Chains A and B, each alone.
Chain A
Amino acid sequence: MNDPAPQFLSPNAKPAFAPGVRLANSEAHGGWVLLAPERVLKTDSISYEILKRCNGVNSISSIVNDLATTFDAPREKIFADVSALFVQLASKRMVNIT
């Protein structure tokens, strides 16, 4: 069962986009945007790298590990970014956490 609005995320939690939410590349805006019902979020380079790993299969810890390796960055800092982004998107029902 989904926890509808988590305050923090377990490393084993698996985020997935809610129905009707998808990443799209917009030439006109020169980058990736997250499209959802009546909402548009422009991604920056960090949030894009996080969101493109969101597929309902990857856990939070595997996303964090992947990013830490790819960008040679501290895990704690990345975990904080990843967790904050998904908590925010879950409260807007743009991401489901299982």
Chain B
Amino acid sequence: MSAEAATLQKPLGLLAELTHRCPLGCPYCSNPVELESRTGELDTATWARVFREAAQLGVLQVHLSGGEPGARRDLVEITKAARDAGLYSNLITSGVGINTDRLRELADAGLDHVQVSIQDSEPVSADTIAGYEGAFERKRTLAKDTVQLGLPLTVNMVVHRANIERVEEMIELALGFGASRVEIAHAQYYGWALRNRDALMPTRKQAERAAEKLVPLRERYRGQIVIDAVAPDYHARYPKACVGGWGRRSLNVTPSGRVLPCHAAETLPLEFWNVREHSLAEIWGRSPAFQAFRGTGWMQEPCKSCSRREQDFGGCRCQAFALTGDAAAADPVCHLSPHHHLIEALSGGQGAGEYVYRRMNTSTSAR
């Protein structure tokens, strides 16, 4: 494969981070450690334009996320704008901040799907992880309301040391909530999770046991609930095909309008364009950040000659940069990476420490 320009694909999904404001403090939050304030957030009309441009570009699904999207007073208008643009809309919520009436308004506006995060199958532990007392009960209410409104529900459970022994209970909880889909997502170490890695990382044995448990559970619940798993990255042999390949399938718009190839990309020394200054098509096709790691031309060994290079695309650029200082290096999760020993040293799950809860810096927060 030569270094010629990679073929431009059409994106299928857009993650719309409507706000970074959130009542919860989950220590594994994927938002950047430097959270954006309310004053810099895009307005309703700009989001509506972004959705129209996204649909023209090929995007089929928009994920209304945050932070907690319910913190936006114009969430119903934003949801309607997504529907008007012809997009399938998925609300990704903490469940705190969206009451029954508002959820009904969202359904009426054309919302297609709700995904709620649950921190643990044990309510007390769940509230401790979220850093918010009573969060679990409010999530239960939102789940019930979702099902009663006839909307499909996904329960997302982020797995880490404090709850990894309970994957079976988590799936049963999701079934009890009436979910048609559950995500068992091992924590990915970016943003706040990277800061909390020592306190979150399970042992290799725990990660393996959790994966083994899923096999019979998938069979048992086939046709009742779809179980999707996000593998424990640090305990894998090959890296994940991060975001399905850089600038290939999805894009992410931050609360202030910066467009990223993935939600953690701002940790890389790249130039990001903003929807306030450029159309989404320009950004997707020509912006430096999207061009940087598209295709395979940027690769070095061992990726460059690897038979898996168009399967996993060298893994995650943000992880490569965070751990090796070189964003074009192979993801050190790969056992072929010369830096793989770094992952081995970090993946023991023997670390200690308390959570640093995700909070807005009060000097920049508008709340």
Contact = CB atoms under 8 A, between A and B. Distances in A.
B69 to A, nearest CB: 16
B283 to A, nearest CB: 16
Interface string A8-49: 000000000011111010111100010101101000000000
Contacts of A93: 180-181, 223-226
Contacts of B88: 22, 24, 35
B13 to A, nearest CB: 8
Interface string A34-71: 01011010000000000000000000000000000000
A37 to B, nearest CB: 5
A22 B222 CA distance: 21
Contacts of B222: 4-5, 91
A22 B86 CA distance: 12
Contacts of A3: 223
Interface in B90-132: 90, 112-113, 115
A13 B291 CA distance: 50
A37 B225 contact: no
A54 to B, nearest CB: 17
A5 B220 CA distance: 11
Interface string B1-40: 0000000001010000000000000000000000000000
A5 B180 contact: no
Instruction: State which size class the interface on A falls in.
Output: 20 to 34
Interface in B331-363: none
Nearest to A26: B60
A4 B152 CA distance: 16
Contact of A18 (B12, B57, B86, B180): B180
Given A18-B180, A26-B58, A93-B181, A37 B223 contact: no
Contacts of A22: 88, 112
A35 B62 CA distance: 11
Nearest to A25: B86
A33 B60 contact: yes
A64 to B, nearest CB: 23
A37 B56 contact: no
B65 interface: no
B151 interface: yes
B58 A28 contact: yes
B10 A37 contact: no
Nearest to B228: A38
B319 interface: no
A5 B223 contact: yes
A24 B60 CA distance: 9
A78 B12 CA distance: 31
A61 B58 CA distance: 35
A38 B115 CA distance: 10
B12 A37 contact: no
A4 B181 contact: no
B254 interface: no
A94 to B, nearest CB: 9
B113 A20 contact: yes
Contacts of A33: 60
B287 interface: no
B269 interface: no
B256 interface: no
A35 B61 CA distance: 8
Contact of B223 (A24, A28, A29, A90): A90
B64 interface: no
B154 interface: yes
B330 interface: no
B228 to A, nearest CB: 7
A20 B152 contact: yes
A22 B152 CA distance: 12
A3 B225 CA distance: 13
Interface of B: 10, 12, 55-61, 86, 88, 90, 112-113, 115, 150-152, 154, 180-181, 222-226, 228
Interface of A: 3-6, 18-22, 24, 26-29, 33, 35, 37-38, 40, 90-93
